[in-house]
Amino acid sequence: MRGLLVPVLISAMALGAGSARAAEAPPIRISVPACPSAPFSVGAFLGSLEVELAGHVPPCCLLASSPAPEGPGLQVALTLDPCDATATSVVVRVQDPARAGAAERKVELSDISPEARPRALALAVAELVHSATQTPPSPSAPPAPPPIASAAPRPRQPTLFLSGTLELEPHPGNNLLLWGLGASAAVARGRWMAAVDLQGLNGGSSVAFGDVDTDLLALALTAGPHWSVGRLIIDLGATGRFGWAWMRGHPNVAGPTGGSGSAPIASAGGRLGIFLPTRAGVSHVRALVEGGAMIRGLEAIVNGATAANLSGGYLLLGLGFGENR
């Protein structure tokens, strides 16, 4: 054992001299196994360790007089089991009282040649010392949460629709087809919509002795619910129409004379319509389908037979364009 401690003391003196260069911090205290023999050269290990920790703060190194280092500063303890040259591993424990932390590592020697063991052990100890003396990084502030993507504002739904439409109104079974123009103003409030339409329609009916012209001027009122499907606005309502109709006969043969007549008319029905606003949001396409029946109509009689009859059921189709407000 005396032969083992001589090189240890020599190296410790050299290491103690180097520690004076960093008196501001307690030197690293090292405890080596107090064994009769060791599987590595302790003196070579201490010399290699000083090289590996050159310039390190705290400085390297002060040999502890007891197997367990005591006192301030970083403490390194080496343990052999068994405590002789047959040991195949070294347990290295590094403790830092200032940080209340410790690290431990088992270094295997069986696969390292005896000449290379001091440096290999010094590298392992230096690595543990460096890791123990590194200032732990301050906990980084948690990343700022990503900004909450605000929902894109829904486009404002128009409340006033001014439309012009081309309209077609057949009267099935009555030899009458009317067509013309319509102008409409619709107002939406909440879930409800109301509209007023002005219609000007004209049509002709062919008979054996000539033709019958029919003109219709009417005002229609519609009210009912509406809802949106994407950009599409659908309205469904009950419709009442009031107006005046004129009929005139035009004979195409000699002899008969043409007559004319007029009367107020009224009808009731239901309407399904759509508004499709353009992407600019200032105009729309308008389409509608209306069906109903005449409550009061007008009939044209030629030679005792009905030539044209504004009565019974009707179907109204409309397609147009307009402005939103």
- Amino acid at residue number 168: L
Judgement on whether residues 111 and 234 belong to the same structural domain of the protein = no
| SS3 assignment, position 47 | helix
- Residue 272, H or E segment: strand 260-277
Mean pLDDT of each 10-residue bin along the chain, 325 residues long: 46 45 67 84 85 77 64 80 86 80 83 88 86 62 71 70 96 90 95 96 82 93 94 94 91 74 94 92 94 91 78 94 92
Write down the pLDDT at residue 181: 97
Which one, of 165, 161, 163, lies nearest residue 181 by Cα? 165
Phi (first) and psi of residue 81, to 5 degrees? -145, 110
Rounded to an integer, what distance in angstroms lies between the CA atom of residue 122 and that of residue 118? 6
Q: Are residues 92 and 164 in the same domain?
A: no
DSSP 49: H
Residue 282 lies in a domain: yes
- Does the residue 155 lie in any domain? no
Residue 293 domain-assigned (yes or no) = yes
211 and 115 in a common domain: no
Cα 85 to Cα 1, 81, 109, 236: the distances in Å are 12, 10, 11, 101
The pLDDT, as a whole number, for residue 66 is 55
Which domain range does residue 283 map to?
160-324
This prediction's pTM = 0.52
- Exposure letters 153-183 (e unless 16+ CB within 10 A, then b): eeeeebeebbbebebbbbbeebbbbbebebe
- What CATH code is carried by the domain that includes residue 272? 2.40.160.20
Q: How are beta strands 75-80 and 260-277 bridged, if at all?
A: unpaired
pLDDT at 70: 61
Residue 294 lies in a domain: yes
Domain count, the chain: 2
